[in-house]
Structure 1
Amino acid sequence: MSVRIALFTRDLRIHDNPLLSGADEVVPLFVLDPRLAGLSANRQRFLHQSLADLRGSLRELGADLVIRSGDPVAETSRLAREIDATTVMVAGDVTDYAQRRVRRLRDERLHVEIAPGVTVMPPGALKPAGGGASYRVFTPYFKSWERAEWRQVSGTPRKIAMPEGIAPGRLPEMPAGESPDAIPGGETEARRRLRAWLPKISRYEDEHDDLAADNTSRLSAYLRFGCLSPLELALAVRAADSPGAHAYLRQLAWRDFYYQVTAAFPKISTRAMRPSADGDWRYDDDALEHWRDGLTGVPVVDAGMRQLRAEGWMHNRARLITAAFLTKHLGLDWRLGLDWFFRWLIDGDVPNNSGNWQWTAGTGNDTRPYRRFNPIRQAQRFDPDGVYVRRYVPELKDVDGAAVHQPWRLPEPVRRGLDYPGPLESHRDEAVWLRD
């Protein structure tokens, strides 16, 4: 009888999860790595909620989620010896951390099988016609992504056979997140939200940039932790067959795009993809602190940064505006912003957070690295009545009309920064940021 360890990582679900099929007995395992625990209180809380939900679902199928704490490779190897298992299946991932984990598992003489499921199309599955490990430009990637044959959805098991006598372990006490208005984790909540949002998808193309309307799916955190299958989501959206559905599929393709970019360039969080564009940054702790705290004096920037702290999430358009303000107007290093987003974002992951920060800073996959954005004009276009700004910047609730978007009380560190790279104006406004 074959026994396999299903090592859960970024796939905390029972639907469309190849880890749960293909063996006589399966031992679902998640290892809490203490080295990752302090990176984001928001993500840690969401993770624990998702694990609790996954454990409940597995118990309904006759199995359990084995919880261990420590080094993932050491704990997996120890469990394999206890149950006499030689095979470990884990979802394919692209980060340095994930790649090292697979190499070390194989060094333990375990047979490691890589399962799909973190993206719609596995990184590396689509190759540029001219050669190369990955696409560097999105448009040709998207065309190839649309034409590609997607894998079949894995069936949801009715029952999971699991060896007896394995101590499941306790899930530690739920940690406290930092954002009071953060969404709850778990596959059950993810699927509920998907069902509620799909009927609205026809409006997505017209409304997803509307800051005040907030008509994005807000499913990005569930994709990041694998509480929701990106393939199932893509198939459900494609079946809707509307301009809004096509626009949303494009966002899912952007997500896949950055995964294949990261697979080819794993240092994406620390090293510029375009080194020639990665220089002449200022380092001003006071200006950085005002940006982090949502106290720059530029209303739409402050609204976005305060939403980030309150919810552990930020509207996709506001992400672009706040990131561009830090890099293009204050002239501060994109890695400083990237780290702050990683601390607060529940959906923060290496490919998309880092890829989008590099795109905005002009150091990444971008044919026009010197583009700039005017945050005032962005606010006037995408929050014309100032509803979004007033929602998160209550100091401006009594300001009338378009005046709500004008800079107010610019602190000296921000003024100093704006004098360095240039004024708020830009020649042209363009935008891309995931992607939700």
Structure 2
Amino acid sequence: MTTSIALFTRDLRVHDNPVLHAAAAAERCIPLFVVDDAIVSSSFFNANRAAFLTESLADLDASLRERGGRLVVRRGKVVEEVARLARAHDVTEVHVAADVSRYARRREEALRALDVDLHVHDASINAVPPLSLTPTGGGDHFAVFTPYFRKWETVPRRGVLRAPRRVTVPDLGGDLPDLRHGTPSPDLAAGGETVGRELMARWARSGVDDYADVHDALAEDATSHLSPHLHFGTVSVTELLDRVGTASEGARAYTRQLAWRDFHHQVLAARPRSSTEDYRTRNDRWRRSERDFAAWRDGRTGYPFVDAAMRQLAREGWMHNRARLVAASFLCKTLYLDWRRGAQHFVDLLVDCDLANNQMNWQWVAGTGTDTRPNRVHNPIAQAGRYDAEGRYVKRYLPELAEVDPRYVHEPWKLPEDERAALDYPPPIVDLGEAADRFAEARRKR
């Protein structure tokens, strides 16, 4: 009797899962998730991700039970737990999704040393395998998004796979763990494939077609909110692309955003050290100011757009993409503080924190990554006027400004003195003009 292991990592779903689809073809299949001590003991395993993961594992187990199986959960070192089960149940094959972090690649290398056939599925976490596309002129990866995207959109994608009708699992004991710890964000999104598929269906049916027109209108909150599900793999990016299609301008714009995800993965796959080191150094001598960093972290900079973004992060464990861009630019270029500090704060709170996208997006904003205009600065006042003109986004997250006249909500320091004094809101911690001059001078001296 043949027995396989489907090793779940960041693909916690039964639908369109190449790992489970292939492993379930064996006579017996062990759907395995290992609670990895190296990860759960790290800062990356924040309270928000722990809660989302706990819900996602429970939902995955329920889906497997509907198919006659169950999720097997072990805790420890991944390769040791796989080896232990392989020996005990005469496992001949192990299936796992390809991933790009240094940790994932070390895990894959160690799995290859086991006395089983290892099958690594390239198009499970990504729509296009990370290093399958290379520039025509040579090189191991694309360093600029636009030529990458032109090639990416011509690549035929694999077909969407059905969920297995039945999964036959050996008699293995063990309960599902409750991995929750700390205090998650009060408005954290729910986890699990069931929730993710409902979101995906609703988005494809009634949201994506307007995406090009409204995705940056922060008050409308008109994005898919699928990023946590893509990070944990409770939704398949291949199926998502298939569902949204390319028939509308909105769908094409959304597809482009999903391509950014693959783009960053191929950058990190080619340059693993860029998770902590500058991809393209500007020789920055970053300022060190605990006061300024604390004001940014706590949403007390005196710039309402930035502060609303940081309060949204604390409340939801998530932040609108335009807000991420402006908040990151404010830290790196207005305050001139190290991008790594901001990236780590996002790691500490974001439920959707994908290592490749978080680090490479931060580097893009800091001008040390793949941005072809490394010195661009996103002015929070100008951005607010463009994307939150009436201040509805700001007022949603800054209750102390809820009653402020929309004319002043983005610049409350311009209020009449008596009204300004009555606000429990700080003055700006930095003058934007002086900060822009400081940043320009710093980059000239590099």
- Structure-to-structure mapping, 1:366-381, within 5 angstroms: 366-381=371-386
- Which secondary structure does the structure 1 equivalent of 2:50 belong to? helix
Q: Deviations over 1:174-207 (max 9, x none)?
A: 4454200000000000011112222221110000
Q: Which residue of 1 aligns with 2:421?
A: none
Counterpart in 2 of 1:204? 211
> 2:444 — aligned with what?
none
Aligned to 1:140: 147
* Amino acid corresponding to residue 138 of structure 2 in structure 1: G
CA distance in 2, matches of 1:291, 1:141: 34
2:101 maps to which residue?
Answer: 95
Q: Distance in 1 between matches of 2:382 and 2:390?
A: 13
When residues 62 and 283 of structure 1 are mapped into structure 2, their CA distance, relative to the original with a 3 A threshold, is same
Partner residue, 1:26: 29
Corresponding pairs, count: 421
CA distance in 2, matches of 1:146, 1:416: 43
* CA distance, structure 2, for counterparts of residue 92 and residue 250 of structure 1: 22
Q: In the alignment, which residue of structure 2 is the partner of 1:415?
A: 430
Cα drift, residue 401 of structure 1: 1.8
Name the residue aligned to 2:260.
Answer: 254
Deviations 1:72-98 (A, max 9, x none): 111111111111113211100000110
How far is 1:171 from its partner?
Answer: 1.9
The separation in 2 between residues aligned to 1:147 and 1:177, in whole angstroms, is 44
- The 10-residue stretch of structure 1 (259-268 or 318-327) with the greater mean CA deviation from structure 2: 259-268
> How far apart, in 2, do the equivalents of 1:101 and 1:417 lie?
46
DSSP-derived class of the 1:260 partner: helix
Which of 200, 214, 224 does residue 217 from structure 1 map onto? 224
The answer to whether structure 1 residue 36 and structure 2 residue 42 are counterparts is no
Please give the secondary structure, in 2, of the residue aligned with 1:21: helix
**Which residue of structure 2 aligns with residue 395 of structure 1?**
400
Distance between the aligned counterparts of 1:338 and 1:362, measured in 2? 14
Amino acid of the structure 2 residue aligned with 1:15: H
Q: Give the superposition deviation at 1:411.
A: 5.8
Contact 1:65–1:168 under 8 Å retained in 2: no
Aligned equivalents of 1:146, 1:28: Cα separation in 2: 33
Where does structure 1 differ by over 4 angstroms across 4 or more consecutive aligned residues? 407-412, 416-421
SS in 1 for 2:207: helix
Alignment of 1:48-59 (within 5 A): 48-59=54-65
Deviation, 1:160, is 1.1
CA distance in 1, matches of 2:431, 2:236: 46
Aligned partner of 1:432 in structure 2 is none
Partner of 1:12: 12
* Mapped partners of 1:7, 1:186: distance in 2: 17
Residue in structure 2 matched with residue 271 of structure 1 by the alignment: 277
Structure 2 CA distance for aligned equivalents of residues 201 and 45 of structure 1: 28
Aligned with residue 79 of structure 1, among 74, 79, 85: 85
CA gap of 1:159–1:42, structure 2 versus 1, over 3 A, is same
Q: What amino acid is the match of 2:94? A: V
Q: Is the 8 A contact 1:8 1:30 kept in 2?
A: yes
Distance in 2, matches of 1:262 and 1:380, equals 34
Counterpart residue number, 1:283? 288
Can you list the C-alpha shifts for 1:259-296, whole angstroms capped at 9, x where unaligned?
Answer: 11111011222000012x14111111111111000001
Q: Is the CA contact 2:19–2:124 (under 8 Å) kept in the aligned structure 1?
A: no
User: 2 CA distance for matches of 1:268 and 1:173?
Assistant: 30
Instruction: Show the 5 A alignment for 1:243-392.
Output: 243-275=249-281, 277-392=282-397
Structure 1 range deviating more: 218-227 or 401-410: 401-410
Deviations 1:107-153 (A, max 9, x none): 33333210121011111121111111111111111111111111122
Flag structure 1 segments of 5+ consecutive residues without an equivalent: 426-436
The one-letter code of the counterpart of 1:24 is: E
Cα distance in 1 for partners of 2:432, 2:80 equals 48
Residue 402 of structure 1: CA displacement? 2.5
1:178 aligns with 2:184: yes
Pick one of 76, 84, 93 that aligns with 1:70: 76
Look up the equivalent residue of 2:176 and give its one-letter code.
R
Q: TM-score, normalised by structure 1?
A: 0.93
Report the RMSD for the aligned CA atoms in angstroms. Answer: 1.9
Distance in structure 2 (CA, Å) of the matches to 1:127 and 1:158 = 38
Secondary structure (helix, strand or coil) at the match of 2:430 reads helix
* 1:433 corresponding residue in structure 2: none
**Alpha-carbon distance in 1 for matches of 2:338, 2:439:** 18
The residue aligned with 1:2 is 2
Q: Which moved more, 1:49-58 or 1:122-131?
A: 122-131
User: 1:278 and 1:169, CA in 2 relative to 1: closer, same or farther beyond 3 A?
Assistant: farther
Contact 1:299–1:405 under 8 Å retained in 2: yes
Q: Please give the secondary structure, in 2, of the residue aligned with 1:54.
A: helix
Identity %: 48
Check if 1:191 corresponds to 2:197.
yes
- Give the Cα–Cα distance (whole angstroms) in 2 for the partners of residues 397 and 411 of structure 1: 17
SS for the counterpart of 2:164 is: coil
Map Cα deviations across residues 373-417 of structure 1 (whole Å, 9 max, x no partner).
Answer: 1110000000000000011011111211221111646568x3389
SS of 2:318's partner is coil
